[in-house]
Structure 1
């Protein structure tokens, strides 16, 4: 067996570990990547050899460098090269490469033209927010709190919650999400 074979044999367990640590199912990953559940299962079990096109789609879905999927040695460069993720009119910019517990994001929420309340959501996890600029309207159950630049909030996401700009101007904030929080904010809607 060659070094390349050894590297490729280790990809499947890495993929399974990454998916399970993120609390995702094969069906979740299949829906996001367009890769069939059976192909994902064969990749994870080592019954299918990974190809570059499959690895690129999976690296993008898990928001990790391709090097992490194949176990490449660290380059020593600590910088994160974020790619903005646009969800409707919201923008999320990942500030962590990957995490086993908490992911950091910069969020930009658009200004609101109406005071109509946003639908409240719940999910497993915990969130921490810090307002960089603008005014944030944070609904936790029946209570709405307004936060301005320099203020922070933290809450259990099993509490029904929603967040939006508190006025017609965009709001920028930093957020720390558990994997479940990341999943709901990036993939739900």
Structure 2
């Protein structure tokens, strides 16, 4: 085995001992619950016995923790979602999807800004749906000037001049679904 694997396996015993003690469980009680002998559990905790899947699975079930927690595996996120923020137009966009083409999902953060900030509407191809999570959104859409509080949603063709900002100077947090091909978001309600 390589050095890194040895280090991971060497840390399992102390981690198991700490978990058992934190839960106030004796070796005898743990042996009864898991079906693993008390001496084997003791040697495992003291590093005199290497962890195997056959030993770790009943322990993970007994402690009601993922196997990864017992071996100290690094946390892994959903590989299809990369939460690398993008800063554009003074706002922060956090991509929630990365599918090429089609619908894109973003969490958008508009920082606190002066209420006197002059809107600068822009256009681009596509269709946008948004939902206000926090703060009060000012949405300038063509000739309309709207204020959307938390829980409100809007959808529009992005070829119409539009601008998003704060309605009251405070930060705004929203979810956005954007389709560069201009497809509308469909919401179906079951009866």
84-93 vs 127-136, which deviates more? 84-93
Taking the aligned partners of 1:88 and 1:138, their CA distance within structure 2 comes to 15
Taking the aligned partners of 2:166 and 2:106, their CA distance within structure 1 comes to 17
Per the alignment, residue 131 of structure 1 pairs with 132
Taking the aligned partners of 1:178 and 1:88, their CA distance within structure 2 comes to 19
Greater gyration radius: 2
Moved over 4 A (4+): none
Question: Offset at 1:105?
Answer: 0.3
1:22-171 equivalence runs, <5 A: 77=78, 80-87=81-88, 89-171=90-172
What secondary structure, in the 3-state scheme, does the structure 1 residue paired with 2:125 have? coil
Question: Offset at 1:99?
Answer: 3.5
Per the alignment, residue 177 of structure 2 pairs with 176
Greater share of helix: 1
Cα deviation, 1:65-112, whole Å, max 9, x if unaligned, reads xxxxxxxxxxxx565131011225311000002242110000000122
* TM, length-normalised to structure 1: 0.51
Per the alignment, residue 18 of structure 2 pairs with none
Cα deviation, 1:156-186, whole Å, max 9, x if unaligned, reads 11111111011121000000112379xxxxx
On the 8 A contact 1:123/1:180 being kept in 2, the answer is no
On the 8 A contact 2:127/2:180 being kept in 1, the answer is no
What secondary structure, in the 3-state scheme, does the structure 1 residue paired with 2:83 have? coil
**Gapped regions of structure 2 (runs ≥ 5):** 1-77, 183-191
Question: Offset at 1:139?
Answer: 0.4
Per the alignment, residue 27 of structure 1 pairs with none
Taking the aligned partners of 1:82 and 1:161, their CA distance within structure 2 comes to 26
